[in-house]
Amino acid sequence: MATEVDMSTLNRKRIGRNFRFIGVIVVLLAGCGGTDGSLETTEATTTQTADATTAGPDTTTETPETTPSGVTETTVNHSELESTNLRLATSPPSFDTITDAYWLQLLEEAGIEVETFEFETSPDTVRAVAAGEGDLVNTSPLAIMQYIEASDGGLQVIAVELLKTDYYLMSTPEVGSLEDLEGQIVGISEPGDLSDSLTRVVLEEAGIDVSSIEFAQIGGTSARVAALADGQIQAGAAHAADGLAAAEEFGLQPLARYVDYVPDYAQRFLAATPEWLEEHPALAQFLVDTLIEAQRWAQEDKDAYIALSEEVVEGLPAEISSDVYDLFADEGFFAVNGGMNMIDPTAQLEQRQGNLSDDLPDRSTWVDPTYVEDYLGRVGEY
């Protein structure tokens, strides 16, 4: 069994003189709803696919009706699965996770009932699985690797989704360049989160004195955008579609694309506990098969990707949807071959940043490439 870990202590290493918490998350999220044309997300929701009922009123997202084309005939026969029930801890729907929406459709098509727990921040997502509230976690890599380090291997990464980060560093109109951020407030999700870690890398690569910047804990992308629009912070990371839509709606400025400064960093890992994987080898294989199929579908079918995005993300202008999809497809964001080659560069960057120590367990204990290798052996590389 994995070592018991106090998850509340993870990702707190960065708190210091240049960090503070802005306690306005609920107000900001409430102000970022879809009624005014902005993107909608949920702070923490529980949903189920197939015929399952949702837990609690007003906390659900509807399963899109777009019919998936199905997976290749060489994938695992779902009649062999150990279970048709799955609990997935993940983030709310957004334009960069449309492959997840399609993946869930493929699972539903195969008769798998998925209960989805959605969290705004990746550390909260990992904490849910650590507390036994989920079977798998699909979220940003740093929180997963920090938990692996703290628990001496309490999770195993079985696939990668999105090979690059789509973050933009957005700012208020009066900030004209990265240099103007010195002495200003930059919003993040929480210390050690991807929005914190990669923002620091971008600023350091641009030659900015990071110690001069005050980092404020705001919440997820929607909360950071709302704080920018309200003038409470001067800059913050936002996923590409959200950031560009906010630029159009609130006059915010895109200062930098993170991928230009951090080209080799996976945005999402799929991981599960070793115990769950041991008990569900066929189901785990089917999950990886369908996840890769969803990535290939995204790479091949722009129109279908955008059509599905319109069902799960509200208020996104068509031109922005098209432009961001082109960014993903043209620059190799989709993990069409499972993405396991991006694990080492991602871990190494976080070690250089001091978010992971050199004592991270040996890769062989927390990365299991066999599911991706099995798929590629049957289906072939893209």
| 0.75 exceeded by pTM | yes
Count how many domains the chain has: 1
Whole-number percent of the chain with pLDDT over 90: 68
pLDDT tens across 325-343, in order?
999 999 999 999 999 999 9
Q: Please check the confidence at residue 112 and state whether its pLDDT lies above 80.
A: yes
Confidence of residue 20 (pLDDT cuts 50, 70, 90): very low
Domain-located, residue 235:
no
Domain-located, residue 226:
no
Q: Please check the confidence at residue 34 and state whether its pLDDT lies above 50.
A: no
CATH of the domain at 159: 3.40.190.10
**Hey, what amino acid is at 102?**
Y
Q: Please check the confidence at residue 31 and state whether its pLDDT lies above 70.
A: no
3-state secondary structure of 116: strand
Domain-located, residue 208:
no
**Angle made by CA atoms 96, 322, 227, in degrees to the nearest 5:** 55
Domain-located, residue 95:
yes
* Domain containing residue 156: 39-48+62-165+271-379
Stretch 256-275: mean pLDDT, rounded?
Answer: 95
Domain-located, residue 220:
no
How far is Cα 216 from Cα 288, in angstroms, rounded to an integer? 36
Q: Label residues 289-317 b or e (16+ Cβ within 10 Å = b).
A: bbbbbbbbbbbeeeebbbebbeebbbebe
Q: Please check the confidence at residue 180 and state whether its pLDDT lies above 70.
A: yes
Domain-located, residue 364:
yes
What are the distances in angstroms from CA 79 to CA 82, 182, 286, 328? 9, 58, 11, 34
Domain-located, residue 307:
yes
Q: Please check the confidence at residue 62 and state whether its pLDDT lies above 60.
A: no
Confidence of residue 75 (pLDDT cuts 50, 70, 90): low
Domain-located, residue 237:
no
24 contact partners, CB below 8 Å, separation of at least 6: 218, 227, 232
